[in-house]
Amino acid sequence: MSIDLRGLGPQLRTLAAKQGTTTATLTRKALRLMFEGRRDLGVPSDVARTATGTGACVKVTLRLSAAHAASLAVGARAADMAQGAYVSALMDGIAPAPLPADHARAVEALVASTNQLAATSADLNAFMRLLGRVPAGQLEPYRAGVGSLAKVVREHLAAAARLIAELKASRRGRR
Burial class, 84, CB count within 10 angstroms (exposed 0-12 / middle 13-18 / buried 19+): buried
**Which residues on adjacent β-strands are paired with residue 100?**
none
Q: Tell whether 98 is covered by a domain.
A: no
Q: How sure is the predictor about 174, in pLDDT bands with cuts at 50, 70 and 90?
A: very low
Task: Look at residues 91, 122, 138 and tell me which one is the last residue of a structural domain.
Answer: 91
Q: Tell whether 68 is covered by a domain.
A: yes
What's the rounded Cα separation, in Å, for the pair 126 and 132? Answer: 10
What's the rounded Cα separation, in Å, for the pair 27 and 164? Answer: 35
Task: Look at residues 69, 91, 113 and tell me which one is the last residue of a structural domain.
Answer: 91
The pLDDT value given to residue 67: 92
The count of structural domains within the chain is 2
Is residue 71 domain-shared with residue 139, that is, in the same domain? no
Q: How sure is the predictor about 175, in pLDDT bands with cuts at 50, 70 and 90?
A: very low
Is residue 80 domain-shared with residue 17, that is, in the same domain? yes
What's the rounded Cα separation, in Å, for the pair 98 and 115? Answer: 28
Range name among 31-45, 68-82, 145-159 with the lowest pLDDT average: 31-45
Task: Look at residues 56, 91, 126 and tell me which one is the last residue of a structural domain.
Answer: 91
Q: What is the pLDDT of residues 4-22, one digit of tens each?
A: 777 788 888 888 888 888 8
Give Dmax (Cα) for the chain.
85
DSSP label at residue 93: T
Is residue 70 domain-shared with residue 13, that is, in the same domain? yes
Is residue 68 domain-shared with residue 140, that is, in the same domain? no
Q: Tell whether 49 is covered by a domain.
A: yes
DSSP-H helix ranges across the chain: 9-19, 23-35, 45-52, 66-78, 83-91, 103-133, 140-174
The pLDDT value given to residue 44: 54
- CB atoms under 10 Å from CB of 56, counted, come to 9
Q: Tell whether 28 is covered by a domain.
A: yes
Is residue 42 domain-shared with residue 11, that is, in the same domain? yes
Q: What is the mean pLDDT of the chain?
A: 77
Q: Tell whether 8 is covered by a domain.
A: yes
Q: Is the model more confident about 39 or about 104?
A: 104
Q: Are 41 and 91 in contact (CB under 8 A)?
A: yes
Q: Tell whether 97 is covered by a domain.
A: no
Is residue 107 domain-shared with residue 87, that is, in the same domain? no
What's the rounded Cα separation, in Å, for the pair 32 and 154? Answer: 49
Q: Tell whether 16 is covered by a domain.
A: yes
Q: Are 7 and 54 in contact (CB under 8 A)?
A: yes
Q: What is the pLDDT of residues 29-55, one digit of tens each?
A: 888 877 777 555 555 555 445 544 556
Q: Tell whether 27 is covered by a domain.
A: yes
Q: Give the structural domain span for 161.
A: 103-174
The pLDDT value given to residue 46: 53
